[in-house]
Amino acid sequence: MNAKLLAAATVGRTHGLDGYLRLYSLSGEIDHLRRISDAVIRLRDGSEKHVEAESFRMVSGDALIRFRGYDTPEKAKVLSGGVLMIKRADAPELDEGEFYVADFYGLDVISGGVKAGTVEGTSEGAQAVMLHIRRNDGGVSLVPYLPVFLSHPDFEHGTIDILMPELLS
């Protein structure tokens, strides 16, 4: 897959005897998961498996999916605990001003008009998404994406301003 991939759901336990797996949407939306055809499952060990969705259904509020070639609980179990990565084109449409966390990756962090680092990763924090910023000196700082610390990202220019540069020390 050449398109930039987005994390769409975590893959849960198997369900039934036909290789169905539970999906837990990361966005809270389910409808887009019905329409995916091919995707990638990023496993806990960091490896990836390309998968092709064969069937999707809802049972008692649970989103269930079966992938081609994983038609038994034993075969499907190897995908449990992974993250379903989908093409951006298969993701839900965003409203004006919304963006995906993946859009932070690669943004230049600007302090006083000068590049101070680059966003190289994210993680979930208690109150906000934490940006992993690789500073110009090679170190990494974690900065919460909150308006008191960072501006709204400028995706057109590929930048985000840090409002409290001392967080990069």
Q: What's this model's pTM, rounded to 2 decimal places? A: 0.74
Residue type, 99: F
pLDDT band for position 1 (cuts 50, 70, 90): very low
Q: Are 5 and 60 in contact (CB under 8 A)?
A: no
Domain 101-168, second-level architecture: Roll (2.30)
- Could you read off the pLDDT of 134-150 as tens digits, one per residue? 999 999 999 999 999 99
- Could you read off the pLDDT of 99-146 as tens digits, one per residue? 888 889 999 999 999 999 999 998 888 889 999 999 999 999 999 999
Q: Where in the chain is the domain with CATH 2.30.30.240?
A: 101-168
Q: How many whole angstroms separate alpha carbon 55 and alpha carbon 36?
A: 10
Class of domain 5-90: mainly beta
User: How many CA atoms, within 13 angstroms, populate the side-chain half-sphere of residue 97?
Assistant: 1
